Structure 1
Amino acid sequence: MTTTELPASVPYREVADVNGRVYRVGETDIDIMGRKRKWMVILPWVGMMGISSAEYAFASAEDTLHTAHDWNSLHIFWMMTVWVFFQAAVAFPAGRLRESGRLPARWTMMIGAAGTFMGYLSLALAPHVVVAYIGFSMLSGMGAGMVYATCVNMVGKWYPERRGGKTGFVNGGFAYGSVPFVFLFTGYMDLTNFRWVLLSVGVLLAAMVASAGYFFKDPPKNWWPANIDPLNPPEDPRARRSLEKNPPAVKQYTPMEAWRTGRVALMWFCLACTSGVNIFGIAFQVDIGEEAGFAGGIVATAMSLKAIVNGTGRGVIGWLSDRYGRKQCLLAVCAILGGAQFGILFSAEAKNLPLFLIFSAISGFGGGAIFPMFAALTADYFGENNNATNYGMVYSSKLVSGLGAGMGAVVVGAWGHSGAFILAGCISFFAGFIALFLSPPGRPKSRDVKPNPQPLGEEMA
């Protein structure tokens, strides 16, 4: 990474568009932080990979932890549920602290790194399951939530004109970064070495998060890239297409203003439904595969494939949303995720391994793609200045969707895998229906635009 000496002062000017939104132009990325803004994509991506295994690989360690610590299997599912709860709960307050300047991005990442290590330390050495709940579910969950919110919002601030693909790429690290650990926990870790494996993984991942976060820096409020004119269509065809499909917010909404538009509540509900389906699939795909008679190694491969597609799908859908529109892609993702649940159930009941792998991948794509869509939509609708807090409100829906693992165990116990996967598919379809009502606040809907009853020639006659 090359760093350039910052000049003593950099001239900038503020311009306003027809809606009154202010843009700060004139400063380049190198002027502000001494390096290209692409590093604010690469480094958050590394940070996201550092926290991914706690959610996406944890279920793979279930058998070893159950035997080693003599924990009830339900504890494993509820530990994951509580982890997701704290990961989501910390997003809003951390966002408020970040935007107030009391918690710089660098220190947020350092706290997240410490929480990551504490999680693996407690799984390795916990003398009682309560210690594991505190260390892994609470401390690691909170640390992961701080890292997640910081990384996702960082890239959106540095790429306000083309955030979809970049946000999706960074978000993808939260899924496929776990792939090596899925194989490690299922194929190598056992009762003889689980403590050293967990401690080593904790040190490695904490170091990744801390080293990436050390270089984090936010752009100034209202910053806009110096080479892009915010008042006219940009020359860059990619930026021009993205801004046409996903126009910037008409103003910088405060959290209260954003809530009053009603869009936050709609987005919160849709994300709660779809992310709950995603978490349910992560927790129970192994179980339904083993119930179908597929070998443990094959099921681990399916989970790894799911994580890979989950991660890469976030980047792909982000890129597509820049081209075709965020809402259109969100609707497609809800339909894909819902259909995949029925596909997994059908292939497991038919004991068709190739179909099981295919629908696992499709489910992974749908389950991952929802997150960058809502992250980008939040900034598109409400602006970048308060995005950490605004997205924190939307992302707090995982407080509810985290029950996808714990409540999923209850539903599976009552209705079996068939009833549970059918319910999950229907929930995703319903979320897509609710998403139909999303629209950017402050902009007139096309059906409300009245044609001029008198053409220009008649007015002048």
Structure 2
Amino acid sequence: MSVATGGFREVTDQNGRVYRIGETPHDIMRRPRWLMVWLPWLGMLGISISEYAFGAAEETLHKSHGWASIHIFWMLGVWVFFQAATAYPAGRLRESGKLSARNAMLLGALFAFFGYLALSHAPHVIFAYIGFGMFGGIGAGLVYATCVNMVGKWYPERRGGKTGFVNGAFAYGSVPFVYLFTSAMDVSNYTVILDLVGLYVLAAVGISGFFFKDPPKNWWPAHVDPLKLQADPRATRSLLKNPPAVKQFTPREAIRQPVLPLMWLCLLMTSGINIFGIAFQVPFGKEMGFAAAIAATGASLKAIVNGTGRGVIGWISDRYGRRQTLVFVCVVLGSAQFLLLWAGMAHNLVFFLIFSMISGFGGGAIFPLFAAMTADYFGENNNASNYGMVYSGKVISGLFGSGMGAVVVGAWGYPGAFVMAGSIGIVAGVLALFLRQPGRKSPHKVLVTADPKPVSREVVDDPA
């Protein structure tokens, strides 16, 4: 039976999973699929400022509005709460067809812009909690969830490196703004600067999101045969180390798998450490006697390595396996907290900057690993919802990393807080050893070298 132009073929593997093959990205969206890497990257670049540069703005916000420092740190915790809590409902709306990827991005851009207006013009701290913390967090959550899942859907055969690259923009996109908030923003110009930053976010997210489009359910690139080993060595190596999910798990089915709550707990612990570092790196550096510019440099290096490390670690996980890489990252993240504390207490500038970068590397690498691992374990069709459940661990970690972090620092000082953070990272690494893909009995026999007589259907509908 001949296949019409724009048609596709569905094949079913020995586990019952369906793959839709035959369509090119041009058939689906009239554009090459590499755009679905660079456009999400630009969107993530825009929203990175709210989380990773916020600590650098704390002093100016305190002086200009008269808000207590603990209020400002709790405000970041509220932002993280809503940013993470948005992922699951946003995923459900997208997968049900009620919210397109484009509309999710445009709505996220408007909400994020409103958050910066609230920071600059709020007459009372409660308005900043609502405007920046709630609306800004929801906007960032819409953008984050849409961008991360978009790239994973378009690159199911090599999602680690691509997801890491896009995810990395969520960190290093903030670097210029760390210096801007630390060195240039003061009580005389903070409203103008924050308003302009809001406009930048609106433009970056809105323009990139306008061109977003999801592939069809079960889509698989035509040049990668999902049923047998390939001539493409990159895809083969990645699929051997990170085999496709045995089926497309619905959220209800995924939550019943013991591995999902364990992933949730690991992400909660590691992201809490990451947020603690984001919120307190600059204040800790200043208290240890480093100049504000040096403390800002440490935070910037942390953000740069945090972001670029996500792409590198995603590529490494494609080659050596998601779980093995995650264990390594957790140990690095935990150890870095002890080393960073030592460098600060010793007033050693060189090691303070080095361990800031190592901490940033570990703190950033966890997110693309969990994003890619969720699709590896539960499939791409419902990944927005399934990853939303895993990512919701950040809901709690945001409050503990920033708000409760301020409480712990006040009660035990920085030594107690950093020792606690480091210990949590090591425990997370131990828990990660127990992560296993659900439903796959033989982890070493993933792909076969011959076609195992799959069920095959040729379809001639135009998917566009």
TM range (shorter): over 0.9
Tell me the percent identity.
68
Residue of structure 2 equivalent to 1:181: 177
Equivalent in the alignment of 2:346: 350
- Tell me the residue number matched to 1:89: 85
| TM-score using structure 2 length | 0.94
C-alpha offsets along residues 129-170 of structure 1, whole Å, 9 cap, x if unaligned?
Answer: 111011100000000001000000000000000000000000
Q: Which stretch shows the higher mean deviation, 303-312 or 438-447?
A: 438-447
Q: Hey, what does 1:45 align to over in structure 2?
A: 41
Change (3 A) 1:445 1:410: farther
Between the aligned partners of 1:62 and 1:190, the Cα distance in structure 2 is 11
Structure 2 residue 409 is the aligned partner of structure 1 residue 418: no
Counterpart selection for 2:438 from 425, 436, 441: 441
- 1:232–1:207 distance in 2 versus 1, CA, 3 Å: same
Please, which of 17, 21, 24 is the counterpart of residue 21 of structure 1?
17
- The equivalent residue for 2:385 is 389
| TM-score, normalised by the number of residues in structure 1 | 0.95
Report what 1:203 is aligned to. 199
Deviations 1:92-149 (A, max 9, x none): 1110000000000000000100011001100111011111011100000000001000
Q: Deviations over 1:254-295 (max 9, x none)?
A: 001111111110000000000000000111111221111111
Per the TM alignment, residue 445 of structure 1 is displaced from its structure 2 partner at its CA by: 5.2
Aligned to 2:229: 233
Q: 1:129 aligns with which of 125, 130, 138?
A: 125
Which residue identity does 1:258 align to in structure 2? A
- Answering whether residue 212 of structure 2 is matched by residue 216 of structure 1, we say yes
Shift of residue 446 of structure 1?
6.0
Is structure 2 residue 361 aligned with structure 1 residue 365?
yes
Among 278, 284, 287, which residue is 1:291 paired with?
Answer: 287
**Structure 2 Cα separation of the partners of residues 260 and 190 of structure 1:** 51
**Aligned-partner residue type, residue 77 of structure 2:** T
SS at match of 1:229: coil
Q: Whole-Å Cα distance in 2 between the matches of residues 146 and 364 of structure 1?
A: 24
State how far apart, in whole Å, the 2-side matches of 1:34 and 1:141 are.
Answer: 33
Which aligned pairs between 1:291-310 and structure 2 lie closer than 5 A?
Answer: 291-310=287-306
Equivalent-residue separation in structure 2 for 1:199 and 1:328 (angstroms): 44
* 1:71 and 2:90 are equivalent in the alignment: no
Local SS of the residue matching 2:20 = strand
Secondary structure of the residue that 1:211 maps to in structure 2?
helix
User: Secondary structure of 1:191's match?
Assistant: coil
Return the alpha-carbon distance in structure 2 between the equivalents of residues 169 and 285 of structure 1. Answer: 24
Q: 1-side partners of 2:262 and 2:272: how far apart? A: 15
Q: Counterpart of 1:212 in 2: which secondary structure?
A: helix
Counterpart CA distance in 2 for 1:338 and 1:330 is: 12
Q: What are structure 1's unaligned runs of at least 5 residues?
A: 1-7, 449-461
Deviation at 1:432, TM superposition (A): 0.8
Partners of 2:405 and 2:442 lie apart in 1 by 39
What letter corresponds to residue 211 of structure 2 in structure 1?
F
Report the RMSD for the aligned CA atoms in angstroms. 1.3
The 5 Å alignment of 1:57-68 reads 57-68=53-64
In 1, Cα distance between equivalents of 2:321 and 2:191: 47
Number of residues of Structure 1 aligned to a counterpart in Structure 2:
442
Does the residue aligned with 2:271 lie in a helix, a strand or coil? helix
Counterpart Cα distance in 2 of 1:62 and 1:251: 47
The AA in structure 2 aligned to 1:102 is: K
Q: Which amino acid aligns with 2:81?
A: F
Paired residue secondary structure (1:13) = strand
Taking structure 1 as reference, are residues 41 and 88 closer, same or farther at Cα in structure 2, changes over 3 Å only? Answer: same
Gaps of at least 5 residues in structure 2 are: 446-464
1:447 CA drift (Å): 11
Distance 1:280 1:142 in 2: 20
Which one of 401, 405, 408 corresponds to residue 402 of structure 2?
A: 405
The alpha-carbon deviation at position 405 of structure 1 amounts to 0.5
Q: Distance in 2 between the 1:210 and 1:234 partners?
A: 38
Match of 1:262 among 258, 273, 293: 258
Residues 445/428 of structure 1: CA separation in 2 closer, same or farther (3 Å cut): farther
**Residues of 1 paired with 2:407 and 2:5: CA distance?**
60
- 4+ residue runs over 4 A deviation: 445-448
Q: How far, CA to CA, are the matches of 1:136 and 1:100 in structure 2? A: 28
SS in 2 for 1:402: helix
Q: d(CA) in 2 for partners of 1:290 and 1:64?
A: 15
